[in-house]
Amino acid sequence: LTGCPVHLRGFGPSVQFGIARGTASDVAPLVHASIARYSVQIQQIILSIPIAQYFTRHKFLGEEELALLNRYRVVSSVFECDRVSPDIAGPLKSIAQIWVACQANVDMLERCGLDRTKIRVVPVPYFDDDPLLTLRGRTRRKGVPRFYHIGKWEPRKAQDKIILAFMKAFRPGEAHLILKTSAWKAPSDGTYPQSAEIAIESALQSGLVDSRWTAANWKDSIEIISARLSSAEMLALHRFGDVYVTLSRGEGYDMPAFDAVLAGNRLVYTPSGGPQDFAAADDFPEGLCSYGSQD
């Protein structure tokens, strides 16, 4: 938005400046002059049906007044799904623009009937002083390939598939996998294991992994971290890893995967959602097939 006069509007009675008071008084006339010509209301929200209906139904505004307001309304959101219901898509048609974090969100919203020209990709930014950038070009540590994943333990993250794929691709001791995750507290319907340990036990009993994997030796190759890590510890995790694994089919952007790319690491990913926007041409979609002793 450099060079574009934009009015970032809050709910207070006056414009607030995040700069020194004296400077604010100097630039206020310019800002207010810009606001006189341009006024855009940017709302960063997670969309639900009630929130979407807010754009087409209002307690105090009539249809014409609401339509006028919607001409200047921009919604910024992230979609972690392959479709939205008509009850969400319909109201979105009435606003000026929709800002999303990845191209997959654009394609999804277009499939759901929205005008592609109203949708803008506004990717997550990074800055030149990001500590992760200091890891690029580093000399790889000696030893076996090191895979890692960061994310809350839940079905859409598909950590159970990461575990099974890893144990199918490698024998004990041939590679290392780190799962930085947290407990999943939602009720289980039996379709997703309640913890990484249960997922590993299921893999051992599946008959799909090498018989050399056992309950006694998997901890030598698979490390599970459930504690909160500091920024320095997260940086150390990216430094230790070689390949980041993301098998989700519903990530609107996938920040840990993006951080891994900033750190100069490789990706194993599913061709879905945000990772498609920043994965390199020589990263590995859909599997661990480029490593290991088995297909």
Tell me: the pLDDT tens digits for 221-280?
A: 999 999 999 999 999 999 999 999 999 888 888 999 999 999 999 999 998 899 999 998
The two tokens of residue 262 are 């900033």
Structure token pair of residue 91? 């109201």
Other residues' Cβ atoms within 10 Å of the Cβ of residue 176? 20
Q: What's the CA angle centered on 182, arms 179 and 184, to 5 degrees?
A: 120
Helix (H) or strand (E) run with residue 97 in it? strand 97-100
Model pLDDT, residue 196? 94
**Sign of the torsion angle spanned by Cα atoms 254, 141, 177, 231:** negative
DSSP state, residue 138:
P
Nearest to 148 by CA among 229, 81, 202: 229
Instruction: Note the pLDDT of residue 214.
Output: 96
For residue 13, the model assigns a pLDDT of 44
Residues of the chain with confidence (pLDDT) below 50: 1, 10-13, 15-17, 287-295
Q: Which neighbouring-strand residues pair with 112? A: none
Phi, psi of 15 (to 5 degrees): -75, 130
Residue for token digits 């320095």?
232
Nearest Cα residue to 178 out of 238, 129, 105, 115: 238
CA-based nearest residue to 75, from 50, 102, 61, 93: 93
- Residue 249 CA to residue 251 CA, distance in Å, equals 6
Residue 285 β-bridge partners:
269
